[in-house]
């Protein structure tokens, strides 16, 4: 698992959650909410899909770690590795 693969996983989840959005030019270092029309319920959907599809739990206190693709990659890499090791 790599940070780039995680960024793509998150983008795939966003494609399911916000199917009308154009995701072709999403900048990894920019806040997702500044580039896409995503509200707080959408972010909860991202958290839920990470849980359902990848068995990854993101505690509420750490939701801000998901604010950009880059921060998702940094934050989720150890979590993906922990799931793979389990």
Q: Which of 2, 8, 27, 48 binds other proteins (CB under 8 A)?
A: 48
Give 31's strand partners: 68
Q: Which is nearer to other proteins, 18 or 73 (CB)?
A: 18
Q: Is residue 56 within 8 Å of 83, Cβ to Cβ?
A: yes
Q: Is residue 70 within 8 Å of 29, Cβ to Cβ?
A: yes
The answer to whether residue 20 forms part of the interface with other proteins (CB under 8 A) is: yes
d(CA 69, CA 26): 9
The answer to whether residue 27 forms part of the interface with other proteins (CB under 8 A) is: no
**Contact residues for other proteins, defined by CB under 8 A:** 17-20, 41, 44-45, 48, 51-52, 57
């Amino acid at each position: 698992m790599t940070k780039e693969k995680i960024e793509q996983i998150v983008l795939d989840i966003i494609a399911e959650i916000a199917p009308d959005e154009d995701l072709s030019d999403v900048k990894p270092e920019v806040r997702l909410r500044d580039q896409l029309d995503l509200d707080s319920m959408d972010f909860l959907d991202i958290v839920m899909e990470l849980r359902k599809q990848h068995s990854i739990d993101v505690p509420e206190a750490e939701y801000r770690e998901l604010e950009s693709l880059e921060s998702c990659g940094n934050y989720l890499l150890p979590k993906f590795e922990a799931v793979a090791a389990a």
